[in-house]
Structure 1
Amino acid sequence: MTQTASIAAHPNMSHWQERVDLAAAFRWTERLNFHEAVANHFSFAVNEDGTRFLMNPNQMHFRRIKASDLLLLDANDPDTLDMPGAPDPTAWGLHGSIHRRCPHHRCAMHVHSIHATVLASLADSTLPPIDQNTATFFNRYVVDEHFGGLAFEDEGERCAAALQDPKKKVMIMGNHGVMVLGDSVADTFNRLYYFERAAETYIRALQTGRPLRVLSDDIAEKTARELEDYPGQAERHMAELKAILDEEGSNYSS
């Protein structure tokens, strides 16, 4: 279905482009095996203060999620979990807290992808800059070392409190997984993709047992800034992924 036809088919559904991009992100996250069964959640804030946001339905497999399936939630509504079709309570606890407390983070993607979770399980979960991908995240992540169980509301509030710096767009959630943040769906998914690649490079380098060639702080920061300023990569990445889905006849945009 073309984008024009997709919009025409859902004239009363708001934030359609963001829905389509999120649906594509869900489909590719599953294809890359970054998902975990029917767990994990993505969200995107649709108003200026971040309190109204789109999120995936409760325990629906990423491979099946369509744009029209996404929930539109109000982070300030205390009755959200009592409504029909309520979101997963851990998704609500974590993403609701982030969107209430961190309006500077428009999009939030939480996964238990293998290499990011291995990194989060190490006693030292820092990611040293040993190549271009790992340098991307130099001084741009936080490590949460105080895992408190499933991310119900109290745990979500605790995590959100550690994400107040707009520059820190990844949380390595110790003993848990990773939370990736961004300004748009494309920006966030691109960051999620590269963080998993960076974590894989580091974990595989550790497996050799040989000394690591770590970049200097100056070169790591320079590389991170150059990649941040690189024009249009995230948008082109997302556009190409949607083009592939469209060529395959996927129903993600319906």
Structure 2
Amino acid sequence: MHDNVEYLRIQLACALRWAARLNLHESIANHFSVATSPDGREFLINPYGKHFSRIRASDLLLLDADDPASLDRPDAPDITAWALHSALHRNQPQARCILHTHSKYATTLACLKDSRLPPIEQNSMRFFERVAIDDGFDGMGLGEEAERVSRLLGDKPILLMGNHGLLVAAPSVAQAFDDLYYFERACEVYIMALATGRELRVASDEVARKTCRQWLDYPGFADKHFIALMGILDEEEPAYRQ
């Protein structure tokens, strides 16, 4: 995890812009945050009302998870963003970067009575036994609902929020975005496979676990992916760094 706050701003702005490019966002909703303090309680988050595709590093708000006065400042964050991300950064300090989206295919999976993602191809196997599923949706992520959701993650990188969407947690922006990208891809393939109405080719638990380990041991994959994404923006939209 890079500790330089200015560099974290640049990385998070990159993640937000790429989420828009890949259609992982939703209007001016959805929120990305990254911790800046050792205990995780200070964090950067995207501002309310600004489209992901226009976020610059300097636009990101620096908030304190223990300070409810954050909602009284002139540039106050979205109320659900504050509630959910402050609770997560307080209760899950290991989750340095938290990406919450209503991306199309992950949210489709969250709408199914059985929201499990079976190991039908390599991308889904990457997340085998690494997804927490919330089946207790009780309205928007405010107040006690935010606290309830924040306690569900455990040691898993993915929280599939039933009737709601997706939450990704990771020790770095690069890892979180890589997980977001590949989980959405895995969900897309699964939903398309279901749409054929034909029987699925599901791998054994043994093969799924082996493939998951191979993914986790792959050297520097997430960092290289994210550096490539930053390089494209450096050429095409360098203002994200400002």
CA separation of 1:30 and 1:249: change in aligned 2, threshold 3 A: closer
Q: Which amino acid aligns with 1:175?
A: N
- Could you tell me which of 18, 28, 37 is aligned with 2:18? 28
The 2-side partners of 1:249 and 1:47 are apart by 29
Aligned match of 1:216: 204
| 1:15 aligned partner, one-letter code | V
Aligned to 1:58: 48
State the Cα deviation string for residues 191-245 of structure 1 (Å, max 9, x = none).
0000000000100010011111111111111111110111111111111111111
3-state SS of 1:53 partner = strand
Aligned to 1:235: 223
Against the structure 1 CA distance between its residues 37 and 50, is the aligned structure 2 distance closer, same or farther, given a 3 Å change threshold? Answer: same
Match of 1:139 in 2: 129
| TM-score normalised by structure 2 residue count | 0.97
Specify the SS of the correspondent of 2:43.
strand
Q: Residue 61 of structure 1 aligns to which amino acid in structure 2?
A: H
Any gaps of 5 or more consecutive residues in structure 2?
none
Runs of 4+ in 1 over 2 A off after TM superposition: none
**CA distance, structure 2, for counterparts of residue 212 and residue 16 of structure 1:** 46
Number of the residue aligned with 2:172: 184
Cross-structure match for 2:83: 93
Across the two proteins, how many residue pairs are aligned to each other?
239
Q: Does 1:157 align with 2:147?
A: yes
CA distance in 2, matches of 1:78, 1:250: 34
TM-score of the aligned structures, taking structure 1 as reference length:
0.92
Cα-to-partner distance string for 1:24-80 (whole Å, 9 max, x where unaligned): 001100000110000000000111111000000012100110001100000011211
Q: C-alpha root-mean-square deviation of aligned residues, in Å? A: 0.9
Structure-2 residue corresponding to 1:46 = 36
Q: Secondary structure at the match of 2:241?
A: coil
1:97-150 deviations in whole A, cap 9, x for unaligned? 000000011110000110001000001111001000000100101110011111
* Among candidates 103, 111, 114, match of residue 121 of structure 1: 111
